[in-house]
Amino acid sequence: MKTASARRLLLGTAVVFCAAGSMYGCSEFLSDAAAPQGTLDASTLANAAGVEGSLIAAYRALDWTTGVGGNWGSAASDWIWASVTSDDAYKGSEATDQPNIDPVEAYQWSAGGADTELNDKWKSVYEGVVRANATIKLLHQVVADKPGLITADAAKGIEGEALFLRAHYHFEAYRMWGNVPYYRETDTDFRKANQAPAAVAAEIIKDLDAAIALLPTTPRNGNIGRITQWGAKAYKGRVQVYAGLFPAALQTLRDVKASGVFALEASYDRVWTGFQDYSNGKETILAYQASANDGEPNGNNANYGERLTFPHSGSPFGCCGFHQPSQNLVNFMATNSTTGLPIAWTDPNWNASSANFASTVVKPVDPRLDWTVGRDGVPYKDWGPHKPDWIRSPSYGGRYSAKKNAHEQASGAQSNVGWTNTQLNSVNIHIFRYADALLLLAEAEVEAGSLENARTIVNDIRTRAAAKVQGPGTNRGTIAVPINDPSITWAQYKIGLYTTPFADQATARTAVRYERRLELAMEGQRFFDLRRWGIADATLNGYINGVAGGAEKTRILQLAAAQTFAARHQYYPIPSLQIQLSKGGASGGLKQNTGW
């Protein structure tokens, strides 16, 4: 198992089922033919190791698992659901590869391929719910039947973690479909009806409150990766913002900020990284703890859900070129030559260029561009300059590559096993990080009229973005360098602060929203942000048909067939198979979302 330390939380499938051959008697699997093999029943699991193993299995569902399948639709990063369907990214690769994603990108969500991908996501989030509920039930059974076997403090911590995970998986369903069923450990008929979004959000917050009351303030057993009381509280603030409960979110997230438990990393290169000494730093709230070279023979405990999203065959990674940054995103990351503020702040034609923004095109850019986007001639961390032959099909997927999820060559995070092992690594997948929480707090400050507080937060994040920029990457020490380092020849990095108070609430709101896009680009947040802000239709129709001087339908030809983003796209359609499976229960089962 690849570990950050001896006390890191282990999330690998091998750990869940074997735990070094002792947790469930896996050492006897082949030698003891007299005993039934291949199943784990309640009596087998009814012990401390079984409860802990069940909880680890609930964490493991954060990303694709062999038990659920479905591949990319169940990726921890939501790259299909929140990047490819937004103005951040294209599906990428080429038309004939992973064709089920094509209708997702084009807002043709009633197509069969889209329904298949949606079903994979549904299965994955509710698998997580099932595992969390199974942990709670098993814990209660062991505590009742075997008093003292699990200490009171351990029992509180286990239940708190399971409640948090149940809330998280339901939140994923809530973000996707809005109207979803909520399952607790006491449910016996799983053919439940949908609840309305506001009711689902209330259920999530109820679980988070229960988790907060139970969880310790530091990771249980010292295991890095376990959720804590403060992590659950930050997540509660996230849900409150999504639900539009801004006064409550303001108090929650102010408390989190004041606690000092979390902090921004010193520089942006330390956020998404394969270097273990930077992994799980103070910015991490919840991450999938990707694990490479841990004994799993196919590398499936690594960043499996992201494995298609590396540069293609001409690159050191060998495959596969999906999740490619859009021209719109690249253009958005230019800055004003005088102020260093986002170019969209002052230039109504910021999106006019359709040219390849290679290293030969030198104009002021936000340093986060080259931590987010692989572009020709610019060092790709420490793998040398990005090259045109790293792109599979420029006319289909554009000219740029995803970058955040890639490991540094010097990090040793690459898997040694698995199909195209060079695209498997132990880079943790951030599901929720402190910069995200801060910007949610900034939103709540804006809605409360505390515009100076919001400006301070945005400026803090922009100050961090200026700390280090992409360097030549000839060794670990030159991957990230100061913004004025003389070695930089491929870019003119310039980023400034908002030096005057925001004129009004609308101006402040725009600044915070711009910053969320810049800071969290390609991290699976953008589509959900646009939708909760109520601007998804205007933004995405403009993205396709023309905004600020450019239209993606003329840059990426398959997008000419994209459907108009309309009211029915407020929520994804519920998978048809799940509606069929829900029939026959006392509640009447699931109802399809409006318009589908």
Range of the domain at 543: 13-304+425-581
Q: For residue range 323-351, what is the model confidence (pLDDT) as tens digits?
A: 999 999 999 999 999 999 999 999 999 99
Q: For residue range 100-158, what is the model confidence (pLDDT) as tens digits?
A: 999 999 999 999 999 999 999 999 999 999 999 999 999 999 999 999 999 999 999 99
State the pLDDT at residue 7.
40
HSE (CB half, 13 Å, CA atoms) of 447? 18
Confidence of residue 20 (pLDDT cuts 50, 70, 90): very low
Q: How far apart are CA 200 and CA 92, in angstroms?
A: 34
Burial status of residue 184 (CB atoms within 10 A of its CB: 0-12, 13-18, 19 or more) = middle
State the pLDDT at residue 362.
87
Share of the chain above pLDDT 90, in %: 90
Mean pLDDT for the chain overall: 93
Higher pLDDT among residues 31 and 468, named by residue: 468
CA atoms 292, 296, 298, 303: torsion sign? negative
CA atoms 565, 566, 571, 574: torsion sign? negative
Q: For residue range 426-479, what is the model confidence (pLDDT) as tens digits?
A: 999 999 999 999 999 999 999 999 999 999 999 999 999 999 999 999 999 999
Confidence of residue 27 (pLDDT cuts 50, 70, 90): very low
State the pLDDT at residue 69.
79
- Cα 568 vs. chain centroid, distance in angstroms? 24
Q: How far apart are CA 3 and CA 573, in angstroms?
A: 39
- Give how far Cα 535 sits from Cα of 173, 448, 538, Å: 21, 20, 6
Residue by residue, DSSP assigns 397-453 as H-S-EE-TTPPPGGGT-B-SSSTTGGG-B---EEEEEHHHHHHHHHHHHHHHT-HHH
State the pLDDT at residue 321.
97
Two structure tokens written together for 184: 């607790």
Say if 313 falls within a structural domain. no
Residue by residue, DSSP assigns 333-396 as TBB-TTT-SBGGGT-TTTT---S---TTS--EE-TTHHHHEE-BTSB-TTS-BB-GGG-S-HHH
Q: How far apart are CA 590 and CA 37, in angstroms?
A: 36
State the pLDDT at residue 13.
37
Confidence of residue 299 (pLDDT cuts 50, 70, 90): very high
Q: Span 85-114, mean pLDDT?
A: 97
Say if 67 falls within a structural domain. yes
State the pLDDT at residue 443.
98
State the pLDDT at residue 449.
98
2 has pLDDT over 90: no
Q: How far apart are CA 185 and CA 131, in angstroms?
A: 10
Say if 196 falls within a structural domain. yes
State the pLDDT at residue 18.
33
State the pLDDT at residue 218.
97
Q: Span 273-289, mean pLDDT?
A: 97
Confidence of residue 40 (pLDDT cuts 50, 70, 90): low
Confidence of residue 25 (pLDDT cuts 50, 70, 90): very low
State the pLDDT at residue 585.
83
32 has pLDDT over 50: no
* CA proximity to 356, closest of 393, 334, 333, 327: 327
Element at 469 (helix H, strand E): strand 469-470
5 has pLDDT over 60: no
- Would you say 528 and 175 are in contact if contact means Cβ atoms under 8 Å apart? yes
- Cα 421 vs. chain centroid, distance in angstroms? 22
Q: Span 207-225, mean pLDDT?
A: 97
- The tally of domains found in the chain comes to 1
Residue 449's region, left for phi above 0, alpha for psi from -120 to 50, else beta, is: left
CA atoms 37, 42, 44, 50: torsion sign? positive
State the pLDDT at residue 39.
61
Say if 229 falls within a structural domain. yes
Higher pLDDT among residues 549 and 9, named by residue: 549
6 has pLDDT over 60: no
- Among the listed ranges 30-39, 99-108, 113-122, 575-584, which one has the minimum average pLDDT value? 30-39
Give the CATH number, domain containing residue 56: 1.25.40.390
